[in-house]
A and B are shown apart, each in its own frame.
Chain A
Amino acid sequence: MPAQALFGQLLIGLINGSFYALLSLGLSVIFGLLNIINFAHGALYMMGAFVAYFLLQYAGLGYWWALVLSPVVVGLVGIVIERTTLKRLYQLDHLYGLLLTFGFALVIQGVFRHEYGSSGLPYSMPAQLSGGQNLGFMFLPNYRAWVIVVSLTVCLGTWYVIERTKLGAYLRAATENPTLVRAFGINVPRMITLTYGFGVGLAALAGVLAAPIYQVNPLMGADLIIVVFAVVVIGGLGSILGSIITGFTLGVVEGLTKVFYPEASNTVIFVIMALVLLVKPTGLFGRAP
């Protein structure tokens, strides 16, 4: 086994893991408060990449602007979706939320595919991050290192805010018992709206980070999101730390599978999911539903 290939796949695994972690973190934050699985997450991730592309094409704003503006724009789209449609369904079975967001995923993907076809649009990486470092045992492109650092920072930052600050305490309290938290004078519906916007913004951030690596493609989120769903099931729905750890770990496991048994690299995450479900149906870090 050449060490070069091993480290190469490990790096790819870490990159994929960065995206899994960011996306499953967003899903977990949303699930915690809204109790819905956001099926539109993959489509909004794709939209994040497209907003970065539009900013460059039509406003001349480059990567660094996109990194800030795209999550805000997509977050606002998410807030509109939540305010106009999702909030009507909170009294009903949560499965309707899943079906509604699935509908949005189809519409968003359909519109972008109609306009831009199924082939990818190139998006170049910022000049500051091109090139790479020779670590002796492998070559590390700067941009890939940047993606891993950003993802780790954002994930741990989110975890810190939710688990260690007063705002996070409100959020966790509202997850446990929204009625009681409202009785204390906290605007829970607004908190729900902002949480959805934030979770969706995380997806858009992942989209911008992915744009220089994978190109901007209307279908880039379609199959990815299903892998992320499996990641979320393995980590335990709604567990913040669980989704970060499983996201990175499974990315690496997938990368290693590509080295040792390439035929199984597409399915390994689903096989792990089946095994985890046999032993612990609530996921590795999940509590009983």
Chain B
Amino acid sequence: MTAATREYVEAGALAPAAAATPRHQVVAFLVMVAFFVAAPFVFYPVFLMKALCFALFACAFNLLIGYVGLLSFGHAAFLGTAGYAAAHAAKVWGLPPELAILFGTAVAAALGLLVGALAIRSRGIYFANITLAFAQMIYFFCLQAKFTGGEDGIQAVPRGTLLGGLDLRPTLTMYFVVLVIFLLGFLVIYRAIHSPFGQVLKAVRENEPRAVSLGYKPEQYKLLAFVLSATLSGLAGGLKALVFQLASLTDVHWTMSGEVVLMTLLGGLGTVFGPVVGAFVMVTLEHYLAQLGAWVTIVQGVIFIVCVLTFRRGIVGELSRILRKPL
């Protein structure tokens, strides 16, 4: 996404390789944490947990599109497969929640390695098409496989007891566990973007031949980024399955892959906080439009069109342009 990335650079949305974290980003992070700590006492916690799961998913997706310039149109595969794996582990094998989520995440990582190894040989539209096709393959697998329960999905997944001591059945307990895991995932991504590894990723995105001439192997960096993105999407998926006690086909379908693109685009591609804002806005919209059936799709489509035509920086991208500070 070279033309697009140039826009972020001009907007100052990309942080330079600073040794210390810029102060405004620390402030923004603390504001976010404060908001999510206070939020369950104002908003409905289940709704917030959904937003947090999608925020983590969108952040993981943003790692690829925003920092490697690869548009994956099949990220639902990682979210959904991890959800099934975690649900199966918790319900059928009776594993405790931490191991169930870990198992789901590991499955997503393995899947990411497999798909990534094939997909990163291409780029641009080819990459989008290939990831989409793989995700559809996985969708059909989940539709037909015995353990996924077909159209019914895996229902009544037990939340269990975390680390043998913390009962996850009360909603607020579950909420704060979700929040902690989300923040950990967020920090992992932040760390990855601002590490030497992240700098190489950006170098590859901006000018691949030059990165090669400097002795880097772009394929390895891209694959590692892809696997990391798939793994964290899997973490979001496993978490989501426990929160809603359900793993279903919705999470593997390509419409979910489209939704995460929309969240990230709306929040701001390649911004640190954009995916969180985008996920929050989209989950809120869907919450209010849910009764209107097909209108959800229409509104999503319109937002897509408007964003692409006139609002390519997204909410946080525009904000950081106005403030002249990368967020």
What CA separation (Å) do A108 and B134 show in the bound complex?
25
What residues of chain B lie closer than 8 Å to A281, measured between beta carbons? 121-122, 126
Docked-complex contact A100 and B308, CB < 8 angstroms: yes
In the bound complex, what is the Cα–Cα distance between A62 and B194 (angstroms)?
Answer: 63
Task: Tally chain B residues at the interface, Cβ within 8 Å.
Answer: 44
| Per-residue contact bits, chain B 126-148, to A (CB 8 Å; 1 contact, 0 not) | 10111011101100110110000
Q: Out of A99, A110, A273, A277, which one reaches B308, CB within 8 Å?
A: A99
The answer to whether B195 has its CB under 8 Å from any CB of chain A is: no
Stretch at the interface among B49-57, B181-189, B292-300: B292-300
In the bound complex, do residue B130 and residue A104 qualify as a contact, i.e. CB atoms below 8 Å apart? no
* Cβ-defined contact, A273 with B298, below 8 A: no
Interface of B is mostly: helix
B140 touches A37 (CB 8 A): no
Is the CB–CB distance between A109 and B297 below 8 Å? yes
Which residue on chain B has the smallest CB distance to residue A116? B294
Of B2, B133, B302, B304, chain A has the most CB atoms within 10 Å of the CB of: B133
Q: A233: nearest residue on chain B (CB-CB)?
A: B129
State whether A278 touches B140 (Cβ < 8 A).
no
* Interface size counted on chain A using CB atoms at 8 A: 47
Contacts of B118 in A (CB 8 A): 274, 277-278
Q: Which residues of B contact A108 (CB under 8 A)?
A: 301
Beyond A113-B294, A267-B141, A270-B134, is A103–B305 a contact (Cβ under 8 Å)?
A: yes
Quick check: is B258 within 8 A (CB to CB) of the other chain?
Answer: yes
Residues of A within 8 Å of B128, CB to CB, are 37, 95, 98
- Chain B residues, CB < 8 A from A270: 133-134, 136-137, 140
A217 and B173 CA atoms in complex are apart in Å by: 45
Task: Tell me if B113 is interfacial: C-beta within 8 Å of chain A.
Answer: no
Chain A residue numbers with a CB within 8 Å of B132 are 226, 229
B304 and chain A: residue at smallest CB distance:
A103
Nearest neighbor of A92 in chain B, beta-carbon distance: B3
* A114 in contact (CB, < 8 A): yes
CB distance from B89 to the nearest CB of A (A): 24
In whole angstroms, how far apart are the Cα atoms of A95 and B309 in the complex?
A: 12
* Contact for B136 among A31, A88, A109, A230, CB less than 8 A: A230
Contacts of B2 in A (CB 8 A): 93
Residues A93 and B1 in contact in the complex (CB < 8 Å), given A98-B125, A99-B304, A111-B298? yes
CB of A107 within 8 Å of the partner chain = yes
Q: Does chain B have a CB within 8 A of A266? A: yes
> Does B294 contact A85, Cβ atoms closer than 8 Å?
no
B249-295 interface (Cβ within 8 A of A) = 254, 258, 261, 265, 293-295
The proximity string for A residues 9-34 relative to B, scoring 1 for CB distances below 8 Å and 0 otherwise, is: 00000000000000000000001000
Q: Check if A93 sits within 8 Å of B4, measured CB to CB.
A: yes
Partner pick for B126 among A105, A106, A233, CB 8 A cutoff: A233
Chain A contacts for B136, CB-based, 8 A: 223, 226-227, 230, 270
Residue in A88, A103, A104, A277 with the greatest tally of chain B CB atoms within 10 Å: A103
Jot down 10 A-B pairs with beta carbons below 8 A, ordered by A.
A37-B129, A85-B309, A88-B309, A105-B301, A113-B294, A114-B293, A114-B295, A229-B133, A277-B122, A277-B130
Shortest Cβ-Cβ A-B pairs, 4 listed: A103-B304, A106-B301, A110-B297, A107-B301
* Given A99-B265, A104-B305; 15 other pairs, CB 8 A cutoff: A35-B125, A37-B125, A89-B308, A91-B3, A92-B3, A93-B2, A95-B128, A96-B312, A102-B258, A103-B301, A103-B308, A114-B298, A237-B129, A271-B137, A277-B118
Could you list which residues of chain B lie within 8 angstroms of chain A, going by C-beta atoms?
1-4, 71, 73, 118, 121-122, 124-126, 128-130, 132-134, 136-137, 140-141, 143-144, 254, 258, 261, 265, 293-298, 300-305, 307-309, 312
